[in-house]
Amino acid sequence: MASGDLDPPAPDAALSMEQDLDFWFADGSIVVIAEGVGFRVHMSLLSRHSPVFRDIFAIIQPTQGKELGGGGSHQGVPVVHVTDSAHGMHCLLHAMYDSRRYLTDMVPKIPFAVLAALIRLGHKYEHSDVMDEAAKHLEDYFTTDMDTWLKFCFKNRVPNFEFSAEKQADLFECVNLARLTGKTAMLPAMLYACCQLGIDDILAGGKRHSGVIERLSEQDVLLCVVGYTRLLRLSGKIVPAVVGATCAVQCQSWEACSQRMQSLRTVSYKTAGILTINALAGLEWPRRIHKFTVLNCWTGLCRACRDGLVQSYRTTQREIWDKLPSVFGFEKGELGEIWAERYTVWHENLC
């Protein structure tokens, strides 16, 4: 840990602190103070799970509490000041004392801020179990599997956590956390989600109520800007998927379906809603061909023809999904084995 992560003791810091209601144990052997909030906890438990805490506590001498007085001890117990937020320390201690139950008891409404705090502090204090358990919930959402992603997008599946009212800032923090922890398999879905915000918001960052602005790194801003234009071009692949559709072999009404297919092709050529940054949007998406699936020329098709057109569309979606790593400039193997197995190179002329 960098020396700047520990604040020097101040004469009245321990005396004026607010005691955390959940983590103030009478038999606690150390007081950790974060943002003026004190946590009287057990040095042995923190040392057991975190080599960083172990190193910090090794600096504290057995007699330090008496020698430092009010600035270095509280009621005879040594005091350590950290630069973390009180909320973050509260979450970390919950995970240390309550283990997995802390998060599972909150499913499916784990606040994103809790996951972010656990990932960040789990990484900082080298508590990999805490970091990985929290990150797992983000990995389930920012998945490598297209079908799972579409279920989340179309509300057919609920994530284990909830974004805050500051979702834009949350998304940018997700990317930063993936970079921090090296869990890069989440990045294609994360950057795709960021692109839906628009270039202006990506460049501006996401402002929180506290005034803090969550920003992407310059590298990731560039990846989003490039990816944004590529996604727009890829969404154009939907046109051939619709225009090239023909009646199914099992068509039950060939003449009527042929006429309706021609109407669909006409709509596809004329509409601008087919081009979108949400290149993975389903046919039912409101801006996709003016609510494509409520058109008479769609609803009038026989089931076999509708199923065939949907299958063609789904094939195009999967092709776009497999290109996401390349769309955002990642090389094959850079994001792990799952993405590497189906890696498809983006070509400027053959998107």
pLDDT digits (tens, 9 = 90+) for 170-182: 999 999 999 999 9
Report yes or no: 80 and 9 within 8 Å, Cβ to Cβ: no
**Cβ-based burial of 297 (10 A; exposed 0-12, middle 13-18, buried ≥19):** middle
DSSP tag of 245: -
Nearest to 300 by CA among 289, 309, 313: 309
Q: Where in the chain is the domain with CATH 3.30.710?
A: 3-98
**E strand or H helix at 79, and its extent?**
strand 77-82
What is the pLDDT at residue 239? 66
What does the mean pLDDT of the chain come to?
A: 86
Question: What does the pLDDT read at residue 74?
Answer: 85
Tell me the CA distances in angstroms from 161 to 44, 91, 179, 283, one per residue in order: 31, 15, 20, 27
**Residue 227 · residue 256 · CB < 8 Å:** no
Give me the pLDDT at residue 62, please.
Answer: 47
Cβ 134 vs Cβ 101: under 8 Å:
no
- Calculate the alpha carbon distances from 61 to 31, 42, 56, 307 in Å: 14, 16, 11, 73
In order of 220, 264, 317, the CA distances from 269 in angstroms are: 34, 9, 19
The secondary structure element, H or E, covering residue 31 is: strand 30-34
Q: Report residues of the chain scoring pLDDT below 50.
A: 1-4, 10-13, 62-71, 272, 284-290
Q: Which amino acid is at 154?
A: F
User: pLDDT value at position 312?
Assistant: 84
pLDDT tens digits, residue range 260-311?
Answer: 988 887 776 665 455 677 877 765 443 444 456 677 888 899 999 988 888 8
Among left, alpha and beta (phi > 0; psi -120 to 50; other), residue 291 is left
> What is the CATH code of the structural domain delimited by 3-98?
3.30.710
